[in-house]
Amino acid sequence: MLTPNERQKILEQLHTLATADVVRLWRASSGADLDSRAFRELIVQAYPEIATQYATIAADLATEWYDASAPELSYRATPAPVAPVEQYAANARYALGAAGEVALGHLTGAVQRAVWNGARDTITYNVESEAGSRWARYASSTACAFCRVMSSRGAVYTSAEAATQVVGRGKEMSESDRRARARGETRDERHRFIAGGRRTRGSREMRSSFHNSCRCISVEVRPGRSYEPPAYVEQWQQDYIDASRAVQPGAGAGDLKDILAHMRANTSARR
């Protein structure tokens, strides 16, 4: 079974190929006036084909990864549907709202997100379909503050909506609670439910929690299995607790935007 880091590297290679195709499309069409209607229509029509192709490959790969994580189980994964062509066309139109190379940068950023979402969506799609399955967000050690917070909860996600529940009302998780949750445990030694962390005020689509250029992936935790986060996540968990207490002393809560700003400042200070 591939490690999360190995999966990331495969997706990196896949989105590099997708980016190269987008750049080739752009360069092949650059003989025309970049502001012309013909050029814009060509990009809007051709870009969705590239995005769909690579997002589908990513979804197929994630299906294989899901099944390989627990081959003894009877459940068999299926690829999640990729985004509709209309959405990719809308991404192209948005990119073309900028000028020249900036527009190309927006377009390559969009295809990167399409590729990684193909894999992420497939993992969460199957977690929601398989009873008892959960998923964790895996981030690299160099991840931004937002991704560090989102990935520090361990294998507690059971749906796409749950992935956006980070801070807000609820009981704050202690360090031991976070470690236990990361291992997939829901009750402590006294058989009491372990705190689930604070929830956001309101919700956002799961995809909005994966920003542009985000390299985080979703990792399935099949029934009966546990998830062991990378060692560096323990520091992220403490950073979040410290930041939440700093922005609202004594309460340990606070606005996520303020918490992230505090975490970024501390990270910069340590460098």
Question: pLDDT, tens digit, for every residue of 192-209?
Answer: 334 444 333 222 344 447
Residue 255's pLDDT is 78
- Indicate if 164 and 265 belong to the same structural domain: yes
Query: In this predicted structure, what is the pLDDT of residue 29?
Result: 78
**pTM for this structure?**
0.77
Domain end among 130, 150, 178: 130
- Per DSSP, 187 falls in state B
Q: How many CB atoms lie within 10 A of CB 76?
A: 11
Q: Percentage of the chain with pLDDT > 90?
A: 54
29-47: burial string, b at 16+ Cβ within 10 Å, e else: beeeebeeeebbebbbebb
231-243 tens-digit pLDDT: 999 999 899 888 8
More confident residue, 165 or 204: 165
Strand, coil or helix: 197: coil
Q: For residues 94 and 142, state if they share a domain.
A: no
Which helix (DSSP H) or strand (DSSP E) does residue 110 occupy?
helix 100-129
Residues 139 and 257 in one domain: yes
* Same domain (yes/no): 1, 117: yes
How many domains does the structure of the chain reveal?
A: 2
248 and 139 share a domain?
Answer: yes
% of residues, the chain, pLDDT over 70: 75
Domain boundaries, position 191: 135-271
